[in-house]
Copies of this chain bind each other. A is one copy, B any other.
Amino acid sequence: MDHETAARTTLIRSASDAGSKVFATILTQSPISRIDIARQTGLSQAAVTKAVAPLVAAGLVDAPPVSQRDGTPGRPVSPVSIVRGAMVMLGIKVNVDEVIAVATDLSTRILVDERRTLTASDPDTVVGAILEVVASLSDQIGDKAPSIAGVGVSVSGDVDTSTGIVRESTLMGWTDVPLGDMLGERLGWPVTLENDVHALTVGEHWFGMGLGTASFAIVTIGRGIGSGLHLNGEVVTGAYGVAGEIGHLPLASPELVCPCGRRGCVEAAASTGAIESAVSRAHGRRIRIDEAVRLAHAGDPGAHAAFREAARIIGTAIATLVNLTGPEVVIIGGEGVSDFDLFEETLRDAFQAHAFGAAARCRIVTRPHTFQDWARGAAAAAIQSLVR
């Protein structure tokens, strides 16, 4: 990290509460006038002007030196903007079989990206792969590398952001892995560890589709089933670091044992693995998801029944989430979305059957998140950790 990036980082981290609010507002809503910043943050215009000045001086925010309207410098109506390229953030999504990484600017626009297949999913192998992709990203961005200000890493499961420990990740097969420290020692940048769906939610909230809605939930379907909640203008992270664990709600038959060890979890009936098991049982041989999708599209009753049952459980789980938290919209993402036609009708019927009263008005939309979107979410979480 060069001197300038270090100074910018320090400025953001040590900002007053008002300063942080002003920076976050400019970051996510550029260009925006000081008047609108004041309106949205509840601060006085004088307080906004005072908070903007050091950000401009440090090159993080751009303010037109002279208003084009009347020639008066720094007029509150002149919009200010984030200097997107003032810092580079790295975002890394850890999957069970690969690591996906991006380098982004301050608006999480992707500069370069990188993937590494994992030969194993133990922590040391994963750390090795992360070091490789980071080195490669750093090479690729060349003379921008000194502006890298931090690294966000996202993993599925129960992740303790404050200590950087992955407490439990069923997908990775990890318990109490201090991934934050393992990486921080070798990378030399601050590392922000976050649950993958929370990170995706932060990304959507700050830079994505969530903007403009008062509240939303992201539900991801596929190998894992997870969710992220954004209510009253903030991402819900849980007092103990756990929230949005829709994959582990006990809505399926108690006879089904989840890979996490609990009974009746949504994932035990509706994950990609559960669908593969059900179709394999129906056909008496090992069938992978691609073939299961083909069979279902071809009208195979066993495959159809497996997707229907998964869709019923997911729709019921979404009704559960909506009855409890009442978001304006539920965004379904995750790799399972590519075959949403196999889920949609049953999922919506189950949702309507269990949604309570006006909660049934909640819109359910799909959004195919790319693998890079997940890594962008990790970068967004790292940017957010700077501002807090």
Contact = CB atoms under 8 A, between A and B. Distances in A.
Contacts of A245: 323-324, 356-357, 359
Given A43-B42, A242-B359, A250 B321 contact: no
A39 B358 CA distance: 38
Nearest to A47: B44
Contacts of A114: none
A244 B324 contact: yes
A194 to B, nearest CB: 14
Interface in A1-57: 16-18, 21, 39, 41-44, 46-47
A283 interface: no
Given A234-B232, A243-B325, A324-B324, A160 B356 contact: no
Interface in A72-90: none
Interface in A227-241: 227, 229, 231-232, 234, 236-241
Contacts of A237: 326
A327 interface: yes
Contacts of A18: 42-44
A45 to B, nearest CB: 11
Interface of A: 16-18, 21, 39, 41-44, 46-47, 157-158, 160, 167-168, 214-215, 227, 229, 231-232, 234, 236-246, 248-251, 260, 262-264, 316, 319-328, 353-354, 356-359, 361-362
A38 to B, nearest CB: 9
Nearest to A21: B42
Contact of A158 (B244, B327, B357, B362): B357
Nearest to A20: B42
A316 B251 CA distance: 10
Given A18-B43, A250-B316, A263-B353, A158 B358 contact: yes
